[in-house]
Chains A and B, each alone.
Chain A
Amino acid sequence: MTDKKDHLGKITVSQHAIATVAYQSALESYGVVGMADKDIVSGLSKLLFKDPAAGVTVNFDGDSVTIDMYIVVEYGTRISSVASSVANNVKFQVEKVIGIPVKSVNVHVRGLHVSNAD
């Protein structure tokens, strides 16, 4: 939970809420075809989790948050570019929607999804 003081009272945002925002923005990032379970390395069998918390961890660090994303990337894309655009996208969306500064976004590429082998 993270708290923000408003002039009327406290606003509390849960990790789960932040994770949901991060999850949505990751899925809109080009090159990301799914989220992987953070505990299992072979994420391929479990593409597209319904629960956003499965592929996202959120940790509070003072007034800011650190987010870890476990993603599956489309085979044939430049993975480093995809990963950095996920990090940018997640940071931008979380800061915009929730209003909490994001200290860092760590992107873990847990698998590749092959639509077409060349």
Chain B
Amino acid sequence: MNSSNPEGTYLTKSVLEVNGQKLKSLFNAALIWVKVNQQRINSLNVFPVPDGDTGTNMFLTMQSAYQEVAQSNDNNAGRVMRTIAQGALMGARGNSGVILSQLLRGFARALDEKEQIDAPLLIKCLTEARNTAYKGVVRPVEGTILTVAKDIANYAETSLTDTNNLVQILEAIVKEADRSVKRTPELLPILKQAGVVDSGGIGLFFLLEGMLRFVKKMPLDETGVEKHAQIVPIADLEILDNAIEPGQDFEVVVDFVPNSPINIETLYTDLAKIGTSIQIGEGDSMYRMHIHVPRNNQYMPINYIDKIGTVQKVYIENLIEQMRKKGTINTQNSSIKIKEGQIAVVAVSPGEGISKIFYSLGVAAIIPGGQTMNPSTKEILDAFENLPTDKIIILPNNENIILTAESTIPMSKKKVAVIPAISVPQGLIACLRFDPEGDYESVIKEMTESLGEVETGEITTATRSVQINGVDVKKGEVIALHNGKLVDSSKNLTIASMNLLDKIGAEKKEHITIFYGSGLKESQVNKIIQPIKAKYTEQEIEIHNGGQPHYQLIIAVE
């Protein structure tokens, strides 16, 4: 996906026909816009089921649809649309996703194999989309995405037949979609009770609006999103002390009584210039404002509130200090500042000590995870989406995490590369080649090539009896793995690690680095290390507290 709008120029004021490639670009814009507004759509869900995250479901359905045509150079609009519909069907998620896929299917059917879409055909397609979607349910619930699709089609049939300008039609149906979405609470009482509009309906609106924004060359990123301003009861104010963004060091809370009724939109807009994580709460004849601001800005919210009302109480907390006390930020972490345009590396780390080493090697963010605790796509995405650069490199450091890491590539607007490091030592060796200022492609190449320069040894306890690679393992025995392959099973740690180093061929190498796990005491570690030091006198041996679970030892040999 790409948020830039290089091809937006072709759709000038008057467009009479759209071919396959233009259709594809429009779809990409729709996909991006739904993604950007995903959380907004999710927040409108009133049913705990069946569509808990309408925005996410619609985005994933759209993504699956677009992926089918992403590489296509076909100029035939009909064929492109049919492929999109096919992709949507395969990836349909949740109720709204299924309905969306039916809408696209109907649209594609009316388009048939036509080279271009023109105005009469577009209206026919919208009509067929509506008809197909309604065939999929016995008792349509009105006030949903179905209603919005129906309203658009009806409006196009009755009011848009006298123009042949597609831009004009698109503009008109986006407006009608907006009106239709706003009518949904009148049709579906549960929406009215919750004070929201239908989530699937607004999802369809964003889909169409994304296309229109693309045509009008308006931005397709967060800058185009209206601030989600709302007042909540004071008790519902969430003090998110984990949500510290870089540079937002102070939390400021001000209780105040406004001089005149406050305009929430203005308040949000003004405060957004000062800081982030803005929340406004309402209590007994007073308001509470919550904001995170950078150092040196910490008095600005107070001065601002002072102008619009009477300040009653002020509360300021240094978040960085607070987090440091809790131990959730270590110094290496907060000292790393990624500058714009630099390359940022995010690494998956199984333990505290290993994380520290990664940080010291210039890693921008750590995703906790490893054996039996694979991070999700979202956790990986979250680790880098807020970094102030668009060049990202992920070090999964575990074979089972590579695929998850790769799945973030199409989901982010940033350039993302995954270095297939299958172990912590591989991740560390790759970091040594990392140059934040370097050329993105060559840094990736260098880091990937470096993976072979380290031998990985791992020591863990067998969870069941098994025979692999000719090694007989009994449950509870200590097993040794060389580059992920089982090479030894022994009664105790010392023997296992000696055998492992022997299999790796450590006597011909120069460095042995040992990370011991959270399950080992220092006295135990010393016992293991002594014979190693005695045997490998030529090699440099380093010992670190890795803090990883499951693996008593992770060993890097170079």
Contact = CB atoms under 8 A, between A and B. Distances in A.
Given A77-B102, A89-B50, A29 B93 contact: no
Contact of B139 (A27, A77, A85, A92): A27
Most B CB within 10 A of own CB, among A34, A82, A91 = A82
B47 A92 contact: yes
B99 A30 contact: yes
B102 A81 contact: no
A31 B98 contact: yes
Given A34-B138, A76-B102, A78-B98, A88 B50 contact: yes
A91 B47 CA distance: 12
B109 A116 contact: yes
B49 A92 contact: yes
Interface string A32-44: 1110000000000
A85 B105 contact: no
Interface string A58-76: 0000000000000000101
Given A77-B89, A88-B49, A88-B50, A115 B135 contact: yes
B94 interface: yes
Given A85-B50, A85-B51, A88-B49, A28 B139 contact: yes
Contacts of B47: 92
Given A29-B50, A33-B136, A92-B50, A78 B141 contact: no
A31 B91 CA distance: 15
B98 A30 contact: yes
A81 B98 contact: yes
A29 B109 CA distance: 24
A77 B49 contact: no
B90 interface: yes
Interface in B396-419: none
Contacts of B136: 30-31, 33, 74, 76-77, 115
B98 A85 contact: yes
Interface string B99-140: 101100100010000000000000000000000100111110
A115 B132 CA distance: 8
B200 to A, nearest CB: 10
Contact of B101 (A29, A78, A89, A91): A78
Nearest to A78: B92
A32 B99 CA distance: 12
B97 interface: yes
B109 A81 contact: no
A89 B93 CA distance: 15
B145 to A, nearest CB: 9
A78 B104 CA distance: 13
Interface in B64-106: 89-95, 97-99, 101-102, 105
B243 to A, nearest CB: 30
A100 interface: no
B203 to A, nearest CB: 14
B377 to A, nearest CB: 19
The range of chain A's interface size is 20 to 34
A43 B138 CA distance: 15
Nearest to B133: A30
A32 B49 contact: no
Contact of A76 (B95, B105, B137): B105
A118 interface: yes
B49 A89 contact: yes
Contacts of A91: 49
Nearest to A118: B109
A87 B363 CA distance: 45
B86 to A, nearest CB: 9
A74 B90 CA distance: 15
Nearest to A24: B139
Interface in A6-41: 27-34
A48 B47 CA distance: 26
A81 B99 contact: no
A82 B101 CA distance: 12
A31 B137 contact: yes
Contacts of B327: none
A28 B137 contact: yes
Given A77-B89, A89-B49, A82 B98 contact: yes
A76 B99 CA distance: 11
A77 B48 CA distance: 23
Nearest to B82: A118
Nearest to A47: B138
Nearest to A35: B138
A81 B94 contact: yes
Interface string B32-65: 0000000000000001111100000000000000
Contacts of B137: 27-33, 74
Contacts of B105: 76, 118
A81 B138 contact: no
Given A89-B49, A92-B50, A81 B135 contact: no
Nearest to B92: A78
Contacts of B94: 81, 85
Contacts of A81: 92-95, 97-98
Question: What 10 pairs across the A-B complex have the smallest Cβ distances?
Answer: A88-B50, A78-B92, A88-B49, A74-B136, A115-B135, A92-B49, A85-B50, A27-B138, A85-B95, A27-B139
8 contacts: A28-B137, A30-B99, A30-B137, A31-B98, A31-B136, A77-B92, A89-B50, A92-B50
Given A33-B136, A76-B136, A118-B109, 13 more contacts: A27-B139, A29-B137, A31-B98, A31-B136, A32-B138, A74-B135, A76-B105, A78-B92, A84-B50, A88-B49, A116-B109, A116-B132, A118-B105
